[in-house]
Amino acid sequence: MPYWRLSDFYFFYFAVLGALVPYWGLYLQSVGYSPADIGNLMALLMLSRIVAPNVWAWIAARREARMAVVRLASLLALIAFAGVFLGSGFWWLALVMLAFSFFWNASLPLLEVFVMNHTAARPGAYGRVRLWGSIGFIAAVAALGPVLDLRGPWWVLPAITLLLGGIVLFSQTLPESEMRGPAPQPGPFLKTVLRPEIIAFLLACLLMQVSHGPYYTFYSILLESHGYTKTAIGLLWAFAVLCEIGVFLAMPRLLARYDVRTVLLASFGLASARWLLIGFFPQDVALIILAQVLHAATFGSFHAAGMQMVYRFFTGRHQHRGQAVYSTVSFGLGGAIGSFYSGHTWEALGPAVTYSIAAGCAVLAFGVAFFLLRPRT
């Protein structure tokens, strides 16, 4: 497996997230947007993931050169994002973010399939490749915090543009993938997706991503309103992802000791506790740090276990489309619902209620997985 070429791409891809997710809301707030508008614009970023992964997976399935699709989409994402420098009106930014996210969301599902194919014989090895994405996130979020404290939120725009340029550069080094793994699933793809255990898995993942809506959209805004500097906010984000790296490194041992379903259930339960800590105790630094430790479960173990599930459920020729469905339902639909609802409840009901709803969604995800996701998967 071309470890370093993949790790370079992961580094820059998630460094973009490290600049975008913690600081985009602060930029929007600085140019006068209300919580509802911020939630709507963040929802648009997620909304394109409902369509984009499936479109790009279909294109990739019809072409032998899948990495050529990744390279093209990376370039178009950079060009689309450059539109943020031409205006800051709501509808213009909505159009720019839709175009940007449509192209940007093409790359990762295709690359995830490639990595899973090459690490299938070593359960948990995926995490060792994916951790370079976490390192990229940490580098971006920690470096940008002091810059924004000194120069203002606008500087997140050139930072994201520069990081997108890194994605374009390193996408040129990616080798072409080959389909590996077990034989294709018998029967049509739709029949595979409609298996009860797959529906339960996708529903649980959707609820988990809905629960992340207030975190990805308003966590930085919440902390700033309680007196945290942007540097401190960036360090808290970075610390959470540092904990995530620890889980990725430990995943081979975790999956050797516990089945994937058990890891998912633990992730859902800890997510509920995390959202309550953030929602009710934002002024308590010790509890906020504890909540960030739990990111190791709410994203780290959840995502690594989820990827194992996807690989088991969707084999052979179904892999790219299966990964696209997972991305669409969880990060796309779930993320969009989470951002949209949190924008409106934040304004009307406040942070504590918004995070309580998030905790309830995580509890529902636990219930779905416990009762409907069978251990045999």
What integer pLDDT is reported at residue 377 of this predicted model? 41
Whether residue 128 has pLDDT greater than 80: no
* 331 close to 46: Cβ distance less than 8 angstroms: yes
Q: How far is CA 71 from CA 29, 75, 131, 370, in A?
A: 33, 6, 22, 40
What integer pLDDT is reported at residue 46 of this predicted model? 87
Give the rounded percent of residues in the chain with a pLDDT score beyond 90.
62
- Domains within the chain, CATH numbers bracketed: 3-175+185-372 (1.20.1250.20)
Distance CA(309)–CA(340), nearest Å, equals 28
Compare 212 and 253 and report the one with higher pLDDT: 212
Whether residue 41 has pLDDT greater than 70: yes
Q: What is the pTM of this model?
A: 0.88
Round the average pLDDT of the chain to a whole number and report it.
88
Whether residue 80 has pLDDT greater than 60: yes
Q: Please give the distance of CA 315 from its chain centroid, rounded to a whole number.
A: 23
Question: What's the pLDDT tens digit per position in 224-248?
Answer: 999 999 999 999 999 999 998 888 8
Distance CA(180)–CA(25), nearest Å, equals 40
Distance CA(320)–CA(228), nearest Å, equals 42
Distance CA(247)–CA(288), nearest Å, equals 19
Give the rounded percent of residues in the chain with a pLDDT score beyond 70.
90
pLDDT band per the 50, 70, 90 thresholds, residue 159: very high
Distance CA(207)–CA(330), nearest Å, equals 8
What integer pLDDT is reported at residue 32 of this predicted model? 95
**If you average pLDDT over residues 271-278, what whole number do you get?**
98
Distance CA(323)–CA(111), nearest Å, equals 10
Question: What's the pLDDT tens digit per position in 183-240?
Answer: 444 467 788 889 999 999 999 999 999 999 999 999 999 999 999 999 999 999 999 9
pLDDT band per the 50, 70, 90 thresholds, residue 176: low
Q: How far is CA 45 from CA 225, 236, 349, in A?
A: 24, 23, 24
pLDDT band per the 50, 70, 90 thresholds, residue 63: low
What integer pLDDT is reported at residue 185 of this predicted model? 46
Distance CA(122)–CA(116), nearest Å, equals 10
Question: What's the pLDDT tens digit per position in 331-343?
Answer: 999 999 999 999 9
Compare 41 and 3 and report the one with higher pLDDT: 41
Residues contacting residue 263 through CB under 8 Å, at least 6 positions apart:
254, 255, 301, 302, 304, 305
Which helix or strand (DSSP H or E) is residue 81 part of?
helix 66-81
What integer pLDDT is reported at residue 124 of this predicted model? 54
Distance CA(123)–CA(131), nearest Å, equals 15
